[in-house]
Amino acid sequence: MFTGNKINANNLYPNMMSGSKILIIDYDVTRYHSFDLFAYLLSNEDNFKRCDLNVLKHMCDHNVEWNDRMFWFAHNVSEFNIFNLFKDNIINDQNVYEKILNEQFPNLGITTTDIDDRLGIIFQRKDIEGYILKYFKDPHTVPYDNLLKTYQSDSILDLRMAMEIIRRHSIDTIMVSSIEIAMRIISLLIENKNVGNIGYTFIIANYRYNYDKNNLPKYLLDMNTIEYRYHFTFCVFDPFTGLSIKFKQERKNKNADSE
């Protein structure tokens, strides 16, 4: 698995996605966009007063480290639309939500996910081609940026551009944050008769907003039907396992020792 101080990608993933072309639709994948928006909104006094009390209790507990609060948020907040965490929310249209998010980018902090530290190892393989679709005002860049073909859009969730990238590069694997986004892409693939024999794989983040009140994946019946009829595959990745915090601390300690 290890060669000197470097990880051997072919040994680490001997049969994983061999020959794949992977597209990352970068909303809540390498960076936790919705959390960054929530943290910014919470800095407003009026929003603070209107915020869901259960969320507020966990997010404002100063006895809990910020990283632990973020981990709780990812695995307990069931709202994809962050504005639903505030009383009297009127931002219910996704296009309006995306527009506001786009406008607020210059004000937001940057919270990276664990995948930001780990995913680069996959793209070191010569038989893996990587592509990423991101918002053009997003200042965050991934450590493995040189291994990816980057597309930028003036919308945070530009599924039209995503479809063009999928078509142009014969993408077979798509990483997304939400099951709902995956289902919208699948509908477009079927509508445009792009299903063929590719057998797409969707790798979906393990956020709480992807599950119903019974802790079952949303659209579960639809996914089962799609798997059977079109030979699609659905996988899950966990955006936050604690590894990125561990690695960052190790690097900090290593740098301190070398000084």
Q: How far apart are CA 199 and CA 177, in angstroms?
A: 20
How much is the pTM? 0.84
Residue 171 has pLDDT above 80, yes or no: yes
User: Taking the domains of the chain in order of start, what are their residue ranges?
Assistant: 21-259
Q: Who wins on pLDDT, 183 or 106?
A: 183
Going 149 to 155 to 161 to 163, the CA torsion angle's sign is: positive
What is the per-residue pLDDT for 65? Answer: 83
Per-residue exposure over 44-53, b if at least 16 CB sit within 10 Å of its own CB, e if not: eeebeeebee
What is the per-residue pLDDT for 245? Answer: 58
Q: Compute, in degrees rounded to 10, the torsion defined by CA atoms 175, 28, 117, 23.
A: 20
Reported for 126-129, long-range contacts at CB under 8 A and 24+ positions apart, including other chains, are 127/18, 127/19, 127/20, 128/17, 128/19, 128/20, 128/21, 128/22, 129/20, 129/21, 129/22, 129/169
Q: How far apart are CA 113 and CA 124, in angstroms?
A: 19
Residue 1 has pLDDT above 60, yes or no: no
Mean pLDDT value across residues 2-24: 54
Per DSSP, 13 falls in state S
Q: Tell me what the pLDDT averaged over the chain comes to.
A: 84
The residue behind tokens 């699609």 is 232
Mean pLDDT value across residues 163-190: 94
Amino acid identity of residue 57, one-letter, is K
**Of the candidates 96, 162, 100, 103, the residue with the CA atom closest to the CA atom of residue 137:** 103
Distance from the Cα of residue 213 to its chain's centroid: 21
Q: What band does 249 get if pLDDT is binned at 50, 70 and 90?
A: low
Residues 16-75: pLDDT tens digits?
456 789 999 999 999 999 999 999 998 889 989 999 999 999 988 888 888 888 889 999
Residues 196-244: pLDDT tens digits?
666 899 999 999 999 999 999 999 999 999 998 888 999 998 888 766 5
What is the per-residue pLDDT for 78? Answer: 93
Specify burial of residue 139 (Cβ count, 10 A radius: 0-12, 13-18, 19+): exposed
Measured N-to-C along each axis, helices 66-76 and 33-42 cross at an angle, to the nearest 10 degrees, of 110
Largest CA distance in the chain: 59
